[in-house]
Amino acid sequence: MLGFFKKALGKTNEAIKDVAPKKKKHISKDEFEDILLESDVQYELVEYLLEGLPEKIGRVQAFNSLITLFQYKADFKESDAKPFVEMIIGVNGAGKTTTISKLAYRYKSEGRSVILGAGDTFRAAAIEQLSRWATKLDIPIVSTQQGHDPSAVVYDTIASAEAKGIDNVIIDTAGRLHTQTNLGEELKKMIRVAGKAIEQAPHRKLLILDGTQGSSSINQAKAFDDLIGIDGIIITKLDGTAKGGSLLSIAYALKMPIFYIGIGEQPKDLIQFKANDYINTILDEIFI
């Protein structure tokens, strides 16, 4: 697992090497501050992390400081509902459709049956892209024409999954900005319709955040959470940015679990986020 995190944080670790080119047993507070800022950790959080640390910081002390940011209540377990319904939310360009394909691939690899719902009826390209992934992965999909009611897709997908005994439902949604009122109301309707199709659905609402946006994605996430309530986060494109430290800021600000991180374009390039591995991968570049 550490190897996967090393791939994901490759550019971040390169940035760390520019600040701290030589590994040491101990670093100063100033060095630790520079490393965190270079990794795109917000300044206020850096100050918080440095509080209580000695002037000379060892690996164990650094680890204990960083791991506290992930001590939020996190329920990674899926419910016993069948089908288990997930709704995937986020803005255009964050990697939503690709992430759906990765989730579907993961579930299928674990021996579960999956169906996709092309709920982004706002763009014809989104329907086409998701349909191509469904064909490639050999899994069923429920779709309609551009401009049709996405809530109907939600209902039909869940109903089809129930009728066929399918384990997992993954529903795409229009890539909207949280400031777009009409689309926000549409998203709320999709959630209500899911609950009518099967009790307590959607069982999980996952927000896709673009890792290249770094800490600037926090306000976006807060707005979506206020709108519909987010259950967890998937960070995409982390391998393409030096802003890997932003996960610390995201965890601290949002107090919600990071479920997965994307480390490439292929269906297999989605790994479960583990805070210990993430922190150790960063610290490996700093300490002997």
Instruction: Give yes or no for residue 72 having a pLDDT over 60.
Output: yes
For the ranges 110-114, 148-152, 192-196, 244-248, which has the lowest average pLDDT?
244-248
- Distant-in-sequence, close-in-space partners of 73: CB < 8 Å, separation ≥ 6: none
Taking all residues of the chain, what is their mean pLDDT, rounded to a whole number? 91
Q: Report which secondary-structure segment, H or E, holds 135.
A: helix 124-137
CATH 3.40.50.300 residue ranges in the chain? Answer: 84-274
Q: Select from 3.10.520.10, 1.20.1050.10, 3.40.50.300, 3.40.50.2000 the CATH code of 84-274.
A: 3.40.50.300
Q: Report which secondary-structure segment, H or E, holds 67.
A: helix 59-67
Residue-level pLDDT at 180: 67
Neighbours of 44 (CB within 10 A): 11
- Distant-in-sequence, close-in-space partners of 53: CB < 8 Å, separation ≥ 6: 29, 32, 61, 62, 65
* Percent of all residues in the chain with a pLDDT value above 90, rounded to a whole number: 69
**Helix, strand and coil percent figures for the chain, each rounded to 5:** 50, 15, 35
- The residue whose two tokens read 């897709």 is 153
Question: How confident is residue 2, by pLDDT bands cut at 50, 70 and 90?
Answer: low
Please state, in angstroms and rounded to a whole number, the distance separating the CA atoms of residues 112 and 161: 12
Q: How many CA atoms lie within 13 A of 62 on its CB side?
A: 26
Using one digit for the tens of pLDDT, what is the confidence trace for 83-106?
A: 999 999 998 889 999 999 999 999
